[in-house]
Chain A
Amino acid sequence: MTDRDPAIVIEGLCKRYGEKRALDGFDLTVGAGTVQGLLGPNGAGKTTAVRIMSTLLRPDGGRVEVAGADVRTRAAEVRARIGLLGQNAAVDEELGGRQNLEMFGRLHHLGARRAGARADELLARFGLADAGSKAVAKYSGGMRRRLDLAASLIRRPRVLFLDEPTTGLDPRGRAEVWDAVRSLVDGGTTVLLTTQYLEEADQLADRIAVIDRGRVVAEGTADELKSRTGGDRIDVVLRDAAQLARVAALLPGEVRMDEDRRMVSAAVADRTAALTGTVRALAAAGIEAEDIALRRPTLDEAFLHLTKGAAA
């Protein structure tokens, strides 16, 4: 495998649970050293895909290659090259944090001494040094998640899977995880990340795949996905909600009204022309605006647009 080869190649992946098709012709290619976001509503198949890529689950059909090895036929090699932070905590709750990391180090065949040293290093790095001997069952949710992440980094993996890494974390915990991910990526690790937080995908991911009902429905950079939702918009916030309809009539193109926020929003093609045109039209009609803003669609809007009609 060279550095230019993709880190993950998935073609026509299928997985069924009884009658339920969790993955149904899932295709994805992830470039080495990039961060790939996986977005999708609940039940879209994100966790199923991650479990297959990390050799925990056998696919029913299709081809999955991770770090240059097929997950079905060369699982041992895949396991030596990946790290996994699953959706649910995957540490031994009864043991202490240090005991956990040391055990995983031994199972990664570091040998007793290196495993111990690595455990201390990771505990310090994730701010868990003081809690090292405390049973994990007594950890807070954030501490547990950090320990879990530390456990997926015992050997620096070539490909790291993060299934909703920051769900349930406070903003500080979230920022810590993000920092850890960024520094790994700087070191050349490929990251595949599923998340419910669009901001997280926007912040971390180079490319985002939106998945719905077991297949990828859109793929691209955050900007590409946003523009696919239908370009820029102009938002006009009024002092007086009674004037909403009048303003809506003044604006060209497809217009949305939001009574609660006293806002009219319209799709625009030419940003500058739309801005000057709107200001003039409002002045001519004698309507006072509280705020006028041009903006790109948010990833939330893109997400809702792309997964429209999904039975969550």
Chain B
Amino acid sequence: MSAIHDTDTAPAAGSRLGWAVADSWTMTRRELAHWARRPAQVVVGLLFPVMMLLMFGFLIGGGRGVDGDFRAYLVPGMLTMTMAFGLEATMLAVTQDLGKGVVDRFRSMPMNSGAVLVGRSVADMLQSAVGLLVMTAVGYAVGWRWHEGYASFLGALGLLLLLRFAMLWIGIHLAMVAGTPDMVQAVQILVWPVGFLSNAIASPASMPPWLGAVVEWNPLSATATAVRGLFGNPGAGGDSWAAAHAGLLAVAWPVALVAVFFPLAVKRFRDLGR
């Protein structure tokens, strides 16, 4: 057998970052290759939030306590909610992956140990970015508009993806804590109340004051409100501190969540063999 003999080329310190990037890209390509092998599932994944958008926009009708054009209110809300529910997709993918033997091979190879997680996160972010574009296109088709120019539009997408990034690391961490896909289902059910206890599709003004306060401080509400502002769409109103500083919170919340869950997730992954 014509063998490749250099069995122990330990990477030089300078090239270590280079290899980390290369390994992460290899792991990202792995996810892309998975999608290429199951296109139907990818399409369904993209269409599900679109269906929710159309359902809330046309079948269920006006949101509780929302003045004016409900669809203009709804589209940013649904974009936000879709980013939040990305948590479920991440969790499921991570638990399924960790249950497979291939992760053992990755962990026994001289690759960068974080690359498995980075590959997952790049792939999920790519999918979410595509998802956002599809949803805004569908929103546009049903009459939703943004009014503040392209810079604001991109800023809004940036805030949405920032929220998704936070959800991603929460998802990776929870998946490793939960362990098995069965446990993931239990955790997933808890995501729903968090998603709906926000101003994504209803206004806190219509709720009992204590509930309204919870809703206004929900990270999803901050993102939804900030995005509505950037799109020039009608907001939920309210005069609480959280409502008034939605832009600040839309950045601070995800950054804080990432600061907590990113190191936890990486530590969990490193400790898999313990």
Answer whether residue A110 sits at the interface, using C-beta atoms and an 8 A cutoff.
Answer: yes
Instruction: Determine whether the beta carbon of A157 is less than 8 Å from that of B1.
Output: no
A251–chain B nearest beta-carbon distance, Å: 52
Instruction: Determine whether the beta carbon of B26 is less than 8 Å from that of A107.
Output: yes
Instruction: Determine whether the beta carbon of A94 is less than 8 Å from that of B34.
Output: yes
Instruction: Determine whether the beta carbon of A107 is less than 8 Å from that of B4.
Output: no
Q: Considering the complex, which residues of chain B in the window 21-37 have a beta carbon less than 8 Å from any beta carbon of chain A?
A: 22-23, 26, 29-30, 33-34, 37
- With A77-B10, A95-B30, A135-B37 already in contact, the answer to whether A108 and B108 are too (CB < 8 A) is no
Instruction: Determine whether the beta carbon of B273 is less than 8 Å from that of A56.
Output: yes
B114–chain A nearest beta-carbon distance, Å: 13
Q: Considering the complex, which residues of chain A in the window 107-157 have a beta carbon less than 8 Å from any beta carbon of chain B?
A: 107-110, 114, 118, 121, 125, 135, 151, 153-157
Pull 22 A–B residue pairs with CB atoms less than 8 Å apart, ordered by A: A55-B108, A55-B273, A56-B104, A80-B9, A84-B108, A91-B101, A93-B100, A95-B30, A95-B37, A104-B105, A106-B26, A109-B9, A110-B4, A118-B4, A154-B4, A155-B5, A155-B6, A155-B7, A156-B1, A156-B3, A156-B4, A187-B1
State A79–B11 Cα separation when bound (angstroms). 12
Instruction: Determine whether the beta carbon of B101 is less than 8 Å from that of A79.
Output: no
Instruction: Determine whether the beta carbon of A56 is less than 8 Å from that of B108.
Output: yes
Chain A interface size, under 10 / 10 to 19 / 20 to 34 / 35 or more: 35 or more
Instruction: Determine whether the beta carbon of B273 is less than 8 Å from that of A58.
Output: yes
Residue on A nearest B29 in the bound complex, by CB:
A103
How many positions in chain B have a CB within 8 Å of any CB in the partner chain?
35
Residue of B6, B19, B273 ringed by the most chain A CB atoms within 10 A:
B273
A161–chain B nearest beta-carbon distance, Å: 9
Answer whether residue B8 sits at the interface, using C-beta atoms and an 8 A cutoff.
Answer: yes
A60–chain B nearest beta-carbon distance, Å: 10
Answer whether residue B110 sits at the interface, using C-beta atoms and an 8 A cutoff.
Answer: yes
State A90–B108 Cα separation when bound (angstroms). 10
Q: Which of A76, A88, A151, A158 contacts B7 (CB 8 A)?
A: A158
Q: Which residues of A contact B30 (CB under 8 A)?
A: 92, 95, 103
Q: Considering the complex, which residues of chain A in the window 174-189 have a beta carbon less than 8 Å from any beta carbon of chain B?
A: 183-184, 187
Contacts from B to A (Cβ < 8 Å): 1-11, 19, 22-23, 26, 29-30, 33-34, 37-38, 100-102, 104-111, 115, 273-274
Residue of A56, A82, A86, A154 ringed by the most chain B CB atoms within 10 A:
A56
Q: Which 4 A-B pairs have the closest CB atoms?
A: A156-B3, A90-B105, A90-B101, A80-B110
Answer whether residue A194 sits at the interface, using C-beta atoms and an 8 A cutoff.
Answer: no
Residue on A nearest B101 in the bound complex, by CB:
A90
Instruction: Determine whether the beta carbon of B107 is less than 8 Å from that of A56.
Output: yes
State A81–B102 Cα separation when bound (angstroms). 19
Q: Which residues of B contact A99 (CB under 8 A)?
A: 33
Residue on A nearest B37 in the bound complex, by CB:
A94
Q: Considering the complex, which residues of chain A in the window 246-260 have a beta carbon less than 8 Å from any beta carbon of chain B?
A: none
Residue of B2, B22, B105 ringed by the most chain A CB atoms within 10 A:
B105
Answer whether residue A217 sits at the interface, using C-beta atoms and an 8 A cutoff.
Answer: no
Q: Which of B1, B10, B106 contacts A183 (CB 8 A)?
A: B1
Residue of B37, B101, B102 ringed by the most chain A CB atoms within 10 A:
B102
Q: Which residues of A contact B1 (CB under 8 A)?
A: 125, 153, 156, 183-184, 187
Answer whether residue A54 sits at the interface, using C-beta atoms and an 8 A cutoff.
Answer: yes
- With A84-B108, A108-B109 already in contact, the answer to whether A58 and B37 are too (CB < 8 A) is no
A246–chain B nearest beta-carbon distance, Å: 58
Answer whether residue A279 sits at the interface, using C-beta atoms and an 8 A cutoff.
Answer: no
Residue on A nearest B6 in the bound complex, by CB:
A155
- With A58-B273, A94-B37, A95-B37 already in contact, the answer to whether A77 and B108 are too (CB < 8 A) is no
Q: Which residues of B contact A121 (CB under 8 A)?
A: 2
Q: Which residues of A contact B11 (CB under 8 A)?
A: 109
- With A106-B22, A107-B26, A108-B110 already in contact, the answer to whether A157 and B7 are too (CB < 8 A) is yes
Residue on B nearest A57 in the bound complex, by CB:
B273
Q: Which of B9, B22, B38, B101 contacts A88 (CB 8 A)?
A: B101
Q: Which residues of A contact B102 (CB under 8 A)?
A: 90-93
Instruction: Determine whether the beta carbon of B26 is less than 8 Å from that of A80.
Output: no
State A106–B25 Cα separation when bound (angstroms). 10
Instruction: Determine whether the beta carbon of A81 is less than 8 Å from that of B8.
Output: yes
Q: Which residues of A contact B38 (CB under 8 A)?
A: 94
Residue of A76, A121, A183 ringed by the most chain B CB atoms within 10 A:
A76
State A187–B1 Cα separation when bound (angstroms). 9
State A99–B27 Cα separation when bound (angstroms). 12
Answer whether residue A89 sits at the interface, using C-beta atoms and an 8 A cutoff.
Answer: yes
B161–chain A nearest beta-carbon distance, Å: 26
B35–chain A nearest beta-carbon distance, Å: 10
Residue on A nearest B271 in the bound complex, by CB:
A58
Given contacts A110-B4, A118-B4, A155-B7, 19 further A-B contacts (CB under 8 A): A51-B273, A76-B10, A76-B110, A79-B108, A80-B10, A81-B7, A81-B8, A84-B105, A84-B108, A88-B104, A89-B101, A92-B102, A93-B102, A103-B26, A107-B106, A156-B4, A158-B7, A187-B1, A187-B3
